[in-house]
Chain A
Amino acid sequence: MRIVVLTKPVPDPAAGQERLTAEGRVDRAGSPAVVNGNDEYALEAALKLVEASPDGGEVTLLAMAPSNAPETLRKALAMGAHRGVLVTDPALEGSDTLSTARVLAAALREMEYDLVLAGADTSDGGGGVVAAGIAAILGLPYLSYAARIEPAEGRVRVRRLSATGFDVIEAPMPALVVATQGARSKEITTRALSDLDVDGATPGGAAATAKVTGSRKPEQRGATKVVRVPAPEAAKAVVDFLAQRRII
């Protein structure tokens, strides 16, 4: 089983230093980076699938990111991925979701795999749309929100979480699966934009189909009232508070 996991380096949400550049792009130099949390879940799922596969296999990370990304990808390699492919090029700076899908699709065209795994969305403003774009460009069966992934005889079957439960869905491999929670010596090769055959207009900021025009801080909530008394009084304080706010 050969699996490619799409892993995006993002500003570390735990460090709390995310900010925008003057052009309204995510400032990727201004904050420590980590592999996007949901992509780590996809990676865990990939490692389990390979482990469970009778003929073994390989997990390859694929990222499109600035040239310092190998540092970030090391941790994902340490988790057990076998190798990484980094698409990096100054011309890719400021790429939007559509360009990102085109570039990653072009990189995948040069790789061999049974499954491509992606995360449900990215923490740096992503909307969970890149993976579907890649599937459409490559004509891969697309199975999203997969909490359980089971390959069998050339097909892949997943449990897709739904608003009320889950759907069991199935397609032939190779396929692209978006993993979500519950899915439970290493070389990094870098590729420049000119090494790939990207569909459509040139990626990067100049060709972006959308741009940030402004930003503001959200309104602050009022001060917190803290209650620290024995349970019966605390319960009265809560109910009084709800009554005062006309919730009950």
Chain B
Amino acid sequence: MAGALWVVGEATSEGLARVSTEVATLARGLGEASKRDVVGVVAAADPSTAAEELARYIPRVLAIAAPEAADRSAAPAIAGRLAALVEREAPGHLLIGATPDGRDLTGFLSALLGWGVLVNAGSVEWTDGRPAVEQSVFGGKLLTTSTFTDDHGIITVRPNSTTAEPASSPGKVEPVDVAPSVELPAVTLVEHVDESSGTVPIEEARVIVAGGRGVGGPDGFSVVEELAAALGGSVGATRAAVDAGWIPFAQQIGQTGKIVKPDLYLALGISGAIQHKVGMQTAGTIVAVNRDPDAPIGEFADLFVVGDLFEIAPAIAAELRSRSG
């Protein structure tokens, strides 16, 4: 059978990264269209939990134990073993989530294998015996379709571009042993610091209330939090707010932050710069509150409220409470 489609699963401290379940769902559809095998592969110090989770989506998952990954930076620690397994098993294409670790790994594997890369896929179809990758470019102004010029390639897939759906029956995990084809220089992990807030991560939130520079300072974020709580949503932010130190980077939405796709995105004091827009423009509904009637966000919001966020956001929260109450 022609080269299989491999889903490279990303192991996290909790198990499997959510993007990997989306990539696996996408790959299953491609497998049907191309009549190719779909195989998952997870490499980590202890790959078992992530591999089991990935097997809920894919018939066969290869689990590579990479003991050296325990106290190293992930991508350089596992790339050599993955490259060796690709050389041994000769799949056709690799699909990887376009997360920081996924991008790092893609760069390594491209160089180690000599394979081409198509990045940030929003969707992938099987056309003329090859994957056709659609990607949003130039800040969302254009969608391009690209393909590889030979029968191999690595595709990075944007988070939140597919809805994950487990397979009708779970697949099998096979532990495999493979020595690294090369040893990339070790990068030591000294410390792991968790700053997450305990609410739903913004990539998974159905409702996001986001604050920008207009919020004015760390205290101003209490207005954002209050409205998020009234809507049962999570708090997001622009880079301007993160750079000012008002809120952690984990909440940043946009080109350098996270790509989100909530049902509702409510922006408070956000101008709508292109680098922010690319992270949220596919939200189901966009509501913006901004006192500048000419703010660019007014050009792509569904509802644009011109006014002071410090008056309007608490009023919305109060109105919501009065209606529910």
Interface size on A, residues (CB 8 A): 90
Contact of B185 among A124, A166, A171, A237 (CB under 8 A): A171
A169 to B190, CA, bound (A): 5
Binds B, one of A52-60, A73-81, A107-115, A239-247: A239-247
Return chain A residues, CB-CB under 8 Å to B299.
224
Rounded to whole angstroms, the CA-CA distance of A161 and B263 in the bound complex is: 27
Q: Let me know if B220 is at the binding interface, CB within 8 A.
A: no
- Measured between beta carbons, the chain A residues less than 8 angstroms from B196 are 164-165
User: Which residue on chain B has the smallest CB distance to residue A96?
Assistant: B116
Identify which of A125, A136, A241 contacts B108 (C-beta below 8 A): A136
Q: By the criterion CB–CB under 8 Å, are B117 and A129 in contact?
A: yes
A29 at the binding interface (Cβ < 8 Å): no
B144 touches A212 (CB 8 A): yes
Across the interface, which residues of A come within 8 angstroms of B112, CB to CB? 136
Q: Does the CB pair A247–B264 fall under 8 Å?
A: yes
- In angstroms, Cα B194 to Cα A16, docked, is 38
A96 cross-chain contacts in B, Cβ below 8 A: 116-117
CB distance from B189 to the nearest CB of A (A): 6
| Also in contact, A228 and B307, with CB within 8 A (given A129-B156, A136-B108, A136-B111) | yes
> Which of A84-92, A139-147, A186-194 lies at the interface with chain B?
A139-147
Q: Which of A37, A124, A160, A209 contacts B153 (CB 8 A)?
A: A209
Contact of B190 among A121, A145, A157, A165 (CB under 8 A): A157
Residues in B whose Cβ lies below 8 Å from that of A130: 107
- Is A143 within 8 A of B103, CB to CB? no
Cross-chain contact B187 with A210 (CB below 8 angstroms): no
The reply on A7 being an interface residue by CB < 8 A is no
Q: Which residues of A contact B305 (CB under 8 A)?
A: 227-228, 234, 237-238
User: How long is the Cα–Cα vector from A127 to B155 in the complex, in angstroms?
Assistant: 10
Residues of B within 8 A of A19 (CB): 138, 142
Of chain A, the residue at the smallest CB distance from B139 is A13
Secondary structure call for the A interface: mixed
Whether the pair B242, A181 counts as a contact (CB closer than 8 A) is yes
Q: Mark A205-246, 1 if CB is under 8 A from B, else 0.
A: 000111111111110011011111011101111110110010
Given A13-B274, A247-B263, CB of A169 within 8 Å of CB of B188:
yes
Asked if A6 CB lies within 8 Å of chain B CBs, one says no
Also in contact, A167 and B192, with CB within 8 A (given A141-B185, A209-B115, A209-B116):
yes
Q: Which of B79, B115, B250 contacts A136 (CB 8 A)?
A: B79
Interface size class of B (residues with CB under 8 A): 35 or more
Contact partner, B118, options A11, A144, A182, A210, Cβ 8 Å:
A210
- The proximity string for B residues 146-165 relative to A, scoring 1 for CB distances below 8 Å and 0 otherwise, is 11111011001000000000
Contact between B107 and A133 (Cβ–Cβ < 8 Å)?
A: yes
Chain B residues with Cβ below 8 Å from A238 are 287, 303, 305, 312, 316, 319
Across the interface, do A224 and B303 meet the contact criterion of CB distance under 8 Å?
yes
B132 within 8 A of A: yes
Quick one: which of B119, B248, B303, B312 contacts A241, CB cutoff 8 A? B303
Q: How far is the CB of A44 from chain B (nearest CB, A)?
A: 12
Inside 8 A of A227's CB, which chain B residues have their CB? 303-306
The answer on a CB contact under 8 Å between B264 and A242 is: yes
A168 to B148, CA, bound (A): 37
Q: Which of B108, B152, B187 has the most CB of A within 10 A?
A: B187
Q: Is the CB of A214 within 8 A of B293?
A: no
Does B319 lie within 8 Å of A38, measured CB to CB? no
Residues of A within 8 A of B192 (CB): 162, 165, 167-168
Provide a sorted-by-A list of 13 A–B residue pairs whose CB atoms are within 8 angstroms: A13-B275, A18-B137, A98-B110, A120-B256, A132-B107, A169-B188, A182-B243, A225-B302, A226-B306, A238-B303, A238-B316, A239-B316, A239-B319
Chain B residues close to A by CB (< 8 Å): 12, 73, 75-76, 79, 98-100, 103-108, 110-112, 114-120, 132, 135-150, 152-153, 156, 182, 184-196, 201, 207, 231, 239, 242-243, 248-250, 255-256, 263-264, 274-275, 284-287, 293, 298-308, 311-312, 315-316, 318-320, 323
